Amino acid sequence: MIASLVALALQTAATSNSAPAPTPAGEEPVAPYAESDANAGAAPFRGDAMWRAFGAAAGVHAIVDDLVARNTADPRITDIFRNRDLVRLRRTLFEQFCYILNGGCHYSGQTMAQSHKDMGIQQADMAALVENLQAAMRGQHVPMAAQNRLLAKLAPMHRPIVAR
Ligand code: HEM
């Protein structure tokens, strides 16, 4: 009896560990991948100064929503965003920024290489997105020094994102 209970418990644990995370409401399913904060592609800032400079959760949500809206409406890059899961993009981008700004989030998305592969993203596309991010940060009155500190963290990500 005890042996079978232990076996059942082990089996349940094994199943729940290996089961893929359920797809959040409103999102499309994604093939399983290893989740890790390292997938965010940059180490977080220390302390709470950056998180506060960005207006904490409300500010970062507003910036992410504005950034995604600007990207989808931007004729330079709108094609790349067509038919993509923007609900998932808003969620994972928020997590990524929150993690990097040391807002206490975990990043559950894919690596920058995985999530942008086969999109043919060019340096000019990256420049357009950075302009849109700058406009979104300005819209939330993020101080210029804090804007530049985040942009410096994101800059090396052109390597996994831009196609060669
Ligand atoms: C530093 C710059 C960038 C960062 C930090 C970034 C971040 C992200 C993140 C976190 C995701 C979601 C990953 C996931 O779903 O697991 C994503 C997906 C995506 N990114 Fe980027 N990205 C950047 C640059 C770009 C550029 C330049 C473009 C195109 C102009 C772009 C287009 C997309 C699209 C279309 C998706 C959705 C993929 C899909 O759902 O199929 N990204 N990005």
* CATH number of the domain encompassing residue 142: 1.10.490.10
Ligand 1 centre from 93 Cα, in Å?
A: 8
Residue 70 lies in a domain: yes
Ligand 1 centre from 11 Cα, in Å?
A: 37
The pick from 116, 129, 158 for probing ligand 1's pocket by mutation, whose C-beta has the most ligand atoms within 8 angstroms, reads 116
Residue 7 lies in a domain: no
Residues 25-53: tens digit of each pLDDT: 999 999 999 999 999 999 999 999 999 99
Q: Give the global pTM.
A: 0.91
Residue type for position 36:
S
Ligand 1 centre from 10 Cα, in Å?
A: 38
The verdict on whether residue 106 carries a ligand-binding annotation is: no
Distance CA 73, CA 81 (A): 9
Of all protein residues, whose CA lies closest to atom 41 belonging to ligand 1? 84
Instruction: Please say whether the beta carbons of 126 and 112 come within 8 A.
Output: no
Q: Whole domain around residue 92: which residue ranges?
A: 34-161
Residue 17 lies in a domain: no
Residue 100 lies in a domain: yes
Distance CA 102, CA 122 (A): 29
Nearest to 131 by CA among 101, 107, 151: 151
Residue 16 lies in a domain: no
Task: Give the torsion through C-alpha atoms of 62, 45, 50, 151, to 10 deg.
Answer: -60
Residues 116-150: tens digit of each pLDDT: 999 999 999 999 999 999 999 999 999 999 999 99
What is the position in ligand 1's atom list of the atom closest to the CA of 155? 1
- The crossing angle, in degrees rounded to 10, of helices 56-73 and 86-100 is 140
Residue 14 lies in a domain: no
Domain count of the chain? 1
Residue 22 lies in a domain: no
pLDDT above 50 (res 104): yes
Residue 12 lies in a domain: no
